[in-house]
């Protein structure tokens, strides 16, 4: 039997007030096995020092968050996004992250159907660079409440079909409990993702009823009504054997002592196992 935290990874955004150094030290001390690094956590010390810090830590780097934001009203904006995503892939490779998570992007001034086409074209454009770098791309469909400014890709089905159309085994899907728990096709889509070998990542958190803020009022697993335990079981039944990544945006929790935040997070993970 694996030790209980052997598959737990924590996103640095979960303890956003901490530097990468503090995340690494804090996660190790708490017995967490993996870390998903947000790009903003790389910036202060740069990629090289981050790479050394992570390599020395013994933590498994599970992913780099996040690429994407491909949608733009003009060619220059779209080109800048491609360039930035290629840099993200290089950063992932440098720090030993096997995958870049893609938040695909949306813009209010771009009709959503056009946004979807832009996303498909952009992923096709960066996919060869990702393959060459040995870095996988994980499309994360976002909750439809972010279809205005964050993601024209709002369902697992859309993400899965996008992968199928692309036909690149190096591109798959990240299932985030917060974004998909409401989906009537959830069971069928997770099963299909497993069967098609597209289930690349699982992000755990919870939906606190009637959130006070659209973005930053997410809960620990077990605090809400998204039933992360069930979604994790669906993923495991579909063959998922990767890390359970905890990713929680919460103004409330970011205002706490981050040691306490992390302790609660690990306890919630163990309780919701």
Binding of residue 164 to a copy of itself (CB under 8 A)? no
- For position 140 contacting a copy of itself by CB under 8 A, the verdict is no
What's 140's DSSP letter?
-
73: contact with a copy of itself by CB under 8 A: no
Minimum separation from the CB atom of position 227 to a copy of itself (A): 6
Cβ atoms of residues 129 and 123 within 8 Å: no
Kindly determine how many residues on this chain lie close enough to bind a copy of itself according to the rule CB under 8 A.
Answer: 28
- 149 binds a copy of itself per the rule CB under 8 A: yes
Candidate list 30, 82, 124, 147; residue touching a copy of itself; CB under 8 A:
147
Closest by alpha carbon to 119, among 128, 127, 129?
A: 127
Supply the minimum distance, in Å, between the C-beta of residue 108 and a copy of itself: 4
Q: Does 209 bind a copy of itself (CB under 8 A)?
A: yes
Rule CB under 8 A: say whether 111 interacts with a copy of itself. yes
- Out of 118, 154, 244, 258, the residue judged to bind a copy of itself by CB under 8 A: 154
Q: Report residue 193: phi and psi, to 5°.
A: -60, -40
Q: Which residues sit at the interface with a copy of itself, rule CB under 8 A? A: 108-109, 111-112, 116, 143-145, 147-149, 154-155, 157-158, 181-184, 207, 209-211, 214, 224-225, 227, 230
């Amino acid at each position: 039997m694996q030790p209980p935290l052997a598959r737990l990874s924590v996103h640095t955004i979960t303890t956003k007030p901490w530097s990468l150094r503090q995340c690494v030290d804090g996660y190790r001390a708490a017995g967490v096995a993996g870390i998903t690094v947000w790009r903003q956590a790389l910036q202060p010390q740069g990629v090289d020092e981050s790479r050394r810090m992570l390599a020395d830590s013994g933590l498994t780097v599970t992913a780099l968050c996040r690429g994407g934001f491909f949608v733009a009203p003009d060619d220059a904006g779209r080109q800048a996004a491609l360039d930035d995503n290629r840099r993200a892939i290089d950063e992932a490779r440098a720090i030993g992250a096997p995958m870049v998570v893609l938040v695909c992007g949306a813009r209010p001034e771009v009709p959503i159907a056009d946004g979807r086409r832009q996303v498909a074209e952009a992923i096709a454009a960066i996919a060869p660079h990702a393959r060459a770098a040995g870095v996988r791309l994980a499309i994360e469909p976002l909750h439809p409440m972010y279809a205005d400014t964050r993601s024209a890709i709002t369902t697992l089905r859309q993400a899965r079909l996008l992968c199928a159309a692309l036909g690149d085994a190096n591109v798959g899907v990240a299932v985030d409990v917060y974004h998909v728990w409401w989906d009537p096709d959830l069971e069928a889509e997770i099963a299909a993702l497993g069967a098609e070998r597209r289930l690349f990542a699982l992000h755990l958190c919870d939906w606190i009823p009637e959130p006070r803020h659209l973005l930053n009022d997410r809960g620990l697993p077990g605090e809400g009504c998204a039933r992360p335990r069930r979604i994790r079981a669906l993923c495991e039944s579909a063959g998922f054997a990767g890390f359970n990544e905890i990713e929680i945006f919460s103004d409330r929790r970011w205002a706490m002592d981050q040691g306490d935040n992390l302790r609660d997070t690990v306890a919630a993970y163990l309780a919701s196992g």
